[in-house]
Amino acid sequence: MIVEYIPLLMFLVVCLALMLGYPVAFSLAGTAMMFALIGTLTGHFDMAFLYALPNRLYGTMVNTTLLAVPLFVLMGVMLEKSRIAENLLNVMASLFGGLRGGLGLSIVLVGMLLAASTGIVGATVVTMGLISLPTLLKKGYSPALATGTICATGTLGQIIPPSIALVLLGDILSSAYFQAQLNMGIFTPKTVSIGDLFVGAIVPGLLLVVLYCLYILVYARIKPEAAPVNAADSAPVTLRALATSLLPPAVLIFAVLGSILAGVATPTEAAAVGALGATLLALANRQLNLGKLREVVNSTTEVTAMVFMILIGAAVFSLVFRGFGGEELVTGLFTNMPGGVFTATLVVMAVIFFLGFILDFIEITFVVVPIVAPALFTLGVDPVWLGIMIALNLQTSFLTPPFGFALFYLRGVAPKEVATSDIYRGVVPFIIIQLTLMALLALWPAIATWLPGKVF
């Protein structure tokens, strides 16, 4: 009886190793090999399962979809170094500065473009914290509203395409959906792609931005002292200044997403366009030199190496997990739950939410999603809807006190006079907004699935 629950014990040991501070990739692979060795010695594991590892790793090497990861990372880091966000924020602040809550709106709109450009939560939160938080505090905005807006806007990189999180989720969900259909005896399986997730995320992402903006405007109206307005904040903005700051990132995002939506480019090809476009923008802004190029390449290499090392560790873990009957165990647990698919999905979302306190989205995508997704697909869950829900769930987790990653990122760059309690209080309304959107998505899955059905 105990042997049947070894897969769950493996998962708990991995979580413990990560909480102790061990590297994710080596925690996954090390835990899996330890259990495989013990299982082999006790006769409960067939080492033949690990014979598939070379083929699994080779499949990763020749997977052209995953080429989008370093390309999107390069695009994001290059835009971060090119000061585009800073220039755009200055123009937007002048444009909306005379409106009560206008500076907050500027941050949301600029953060949306930055999130769509970089797709990296930490980079967006830190960048917006450094260039906008001092201005907000100087203008008299309440620390809670200022920090809450920045943290919430920074996490938009999880859901607004092109997002690294959606690229990785799309690749994992595609494999899981294909395998689940084969397990159900469907030998002409349907497919789901990264492009499907990108298109599915557009409506929820824009809806989230609209809700953020509405909250800021309403809050500023109810509590004017929290978002004071000064006529001096509003300055005439020439059409040329607006076009110079807004058009480059907007055109770049349109080129990346538009090529995918039009079906003229795969996500990997679109990522290459984005990387090249970001480099040309940095050159046009005279922000790119040899030293900065070296920084961009080093950052891209570090992030890419981390992602693929975790992917290798996750491959070892998933093979051993499957060897111990983990897939059958999870499917059986979900199938026998009272409430069926609703309860199973709710449990998965709760587990992912709490794991978001200790794991980054990359670890959750590679470790948790391959375990739970096939079982949910067997129960009839739509893969695009599930991907968007997971992305929104992680976004909410990264905002939730006291362990949210976005809070730690902002705390690291916020002035000392901003109390941690201000940051915690500031994000609560945005958490409620995101939970509301998740509830709406649960009631009306078409919010995520309608547009991909129309486009593709």
Read off the pLDDT of residues 67-86 as tens digits, 9 standing for 90 and up.
888 888 888 778 777 777 67
Name the nearest CA neighbour of 270 among 69, 40, 99, 95.
69
pLDDT band at 118 (very low <50, low <70, confident <90, very high): low
**260 neighbors 267 (Cβ within 8 angstroms):** yes
Instruction: Please name the residues in contact with 51: beta carbons below 8 A apart, sequence gap of 6 or more.
Output: none
Bond before 338 cis per omega within 30 degrees: no
Mean pLDDT of 221-247: 73
pLDDT band at 456 (very low <50, low <70, confident <90, very high): low
pLDDT of residue 134: 84
Mean pLDDT of 356-371: 78
Give the whole-number percent of the chain exceeding pLDDT 70: 94
Q: At what angle do helices 267-284 and 164-183 cross, to 10 degrees?
A: 180
Quick one: tokens of 23?
């590297």
**153 neighbors 108 (Cβ within 8 angstroms):** yes
Read off the pLDDT of residues 240-275 as tens digits, 9 standing for 90 and up.
767 777 778 778 878 887 887 777 888 788 888 888
pLDDT of residue 161: 82
Q: Is 65 exposed, middle or buried (0-12, 13-18, 19+ CB in 10 A)?
A: middle
**244 neighbors 233 (Cβ within 8 angstroms):** no
pLDDT of residue 436: 93
**What DSSP line would sit under 25-43, residue for residue?**
HHHHHHHHHHHHHHHHHHT
Burial 198-217 (b: 16+ CB within 10 A, else e): bbbbbbbbebbbebbbebbb
3-state secondary structure 288-349: CCHHHHHHHHHHHHHHHHHHHHHHHHHHHHHHHHHHCCHHHHHHHHHHCCCCHHHHHHHHHH
pLDDT of residue 123: 66
**242 neighbors 197 (Cβ within 8 angstroms):** no
Residue 78 is classified by DSSP as H
**18 neighbors 358 (Cβ within 8 angstroms):** yes
pLDDT of residue 122: 66
Residue 433 scores a pLDDT above 90: yes
pLDDT of residue 208: 93
Name the nearest CA neighbour of 38 among 72, 73, 62, 3.
3
Read off the pLDDT of residues 139-148 as tens digits, 9 standing for 90 and up.
888 899 989 9
How far is residue 378's CA from residue 331's CA, in Å, rounded to a whole number? 8
Residue 233 scores a pLDDT above 60: no
Residue 224 scores a pLDDT above 70: yes
Residue 400 scores a pLDDT above 80: yes
pLDDT of residue 119: 61
Neighbours of 425 (CB within 10 A): 17
Read off the pLDDT of residues 320-335 as tens digits, 9 standing for 90 and up.
888 888 777 777 777 7
Q: Which has the minimum average pLDDT: 168-177, 217-226, 235-244?
A: 235-244
Quick one: tokens of 150?
């920045």
Q: Name the range with the highest mean pLDDT among 49-58, 85-94, 161-170, 194-203.
A: 194-203
**319 neighbors 53 (Cβ within 8 angstroms):** yes
pLDDT of residue 332: 76
Per the prediction, the chain carries an average pLDDT of 82
